[in-house]
């Protein structure tokens, strides 16, 4: 697994950017996210395992909660899960939606396909998905990893149908856990997070990409820094007429 020097610059607007931005050669291969080594990192975070177990027994797992809340806004239709991994969110989403996953890691995509899910092995930039293809797009712990969040969200806006929604879940910059752990916060240590968001900057990023936030960013888990935000596609107010011959 490749290593990169990690340093974040915090902007006055409240966003934090990794500097220098790693090159594609410095970033890990997509399969690295699902390697046994990375699984071991998460397996050893024992406190989070215990806490998640308590939360799951009381409220259901985080992905089922995310889909239940999304179902209240868009009850059915076509759903695309960007960065679907091995298909854990798709498993919950298939209860309500016709689902497709988008995943660049061959290892993860193969696992999702083996579980019976339809997966496009690509990134959103290269997948060539047609306009107006989906009613819901989910991005669970994805947006913080992409080099250009606005560009990715603009692609999401393009493939959503009228009144479609995007559901975004990211670590929360300057939240309680970040303040408590400082430089040792998992938002900085685990994975290659290129952009870190506050609630305000996540909302602003959505708006720049053409979305209207449907809710205030909310924390999904106790004592944790997980932001969840639903944004509805803004209608295109004016389309250019074809040029006269």
Residues 186-197, mean pLDDT to the nearest whole number: 68
Give the confidence band of 202 by pLDDT, cuts at 50, 70, 90: confident
Report the C-alpha gap between 65 and 70 in whole angstroms.
9
Could you list the beta-strand ranges (E) of the chain: 8-10, 16-18, 77-82, 97-102, 119-120, 134-140, 160-171, 195-196, 211-213, 218-219, 226-233
pLDDT at 11: 54
pLDDT at 165: 92
User: Which has more confidence, 131 or 192?
Assistant: 131
pLDDT at 20: 53
pLDDT 10s digits, 34-69: 555 455 445 445 555 555 555 555 555 778 888 998
* Mean pLDDT, rounded, of the chain: 75
pLDDT 10s digits, 100-154: 999 999 999 999 999 999 999 999 999 999 999 999 999 998 998 888 899 999 9
Answer yes or no: is pLDDT of 212 > 60: yes
* Joined tokens for residue 25: 């050669």
- The closest alpha carbon to 178, from 3, 4, 8, belongs to 8
Report the C-alpha gap between 147 and 144 in whole angstroms.
8
pTM confidence score = 0.76
pLDDT at 136: 96
pLDDT at 171: 81
pLDDT at 83: 95
Question: Could you count the other beta carbons within 10 Å of the beta carbon of residue 195?
Answer: 23
- The pairing of strands 77-82 and 134-140 is parallel
Please write down the HEC assignment for all residues of 195-210: EEECHHHHHHHHHHCC
- In CATH, the number for domain 8-233 is 3.40.50.150
User: Which has more confidence, 62 or 162?
Assistant: 162
* Joined tokens for residue 185: 């916060």
């Amino acid at each position: 697994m490749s290593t990169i020097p990690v340093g974040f610059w915090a902007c006055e607007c409240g966003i934090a950017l990794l500097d220098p931005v790693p090159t594609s050669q410095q970033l890990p291969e997509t399969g690295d996210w699902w390697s046994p080594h990375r699984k071991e990192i998460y397996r050893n975070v024992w406190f989070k395992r215990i806490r998640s177990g308590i939360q799951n027994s009381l409220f259901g797992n985080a992905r089922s909660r995310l889909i239940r809340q999304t179902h209240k806004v868009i009850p059915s239709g076509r759903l695309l899960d960007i960065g679907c991994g091995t298909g854990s969110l798709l498993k919950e989403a298939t209860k309500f939606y016709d689902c497709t996953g988008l995943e660049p890691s061959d290892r993860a995509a193969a696992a999702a396909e083996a579980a019976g899910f339809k997966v496009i092995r690509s990134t959103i930039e290269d997948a060539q998905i047609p306009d107006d293809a989906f009613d819901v797009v989910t991005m669970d712990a994805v947006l913080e990893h992409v080099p250009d969040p606005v560009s990715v969200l603009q692609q999401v806006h393009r493939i959503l149908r009228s009144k479609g929604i995007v559901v975004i879940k990211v670590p929360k910059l300057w939240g309680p856990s970040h303040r408590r752990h400082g430089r040792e916060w998992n938002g900085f240590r685990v994975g290659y997070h290129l952009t870190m968001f506050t609630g305000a900057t996540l909302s602003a990023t959505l708006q720049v990409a053409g979305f209207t936030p449907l809710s205030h960013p909310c924390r999904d888990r106790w004592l944790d820094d997980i932001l969840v935000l639903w944004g509805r596609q803004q209608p295109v107010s004016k389309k250019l007429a074809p040029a006269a011959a």
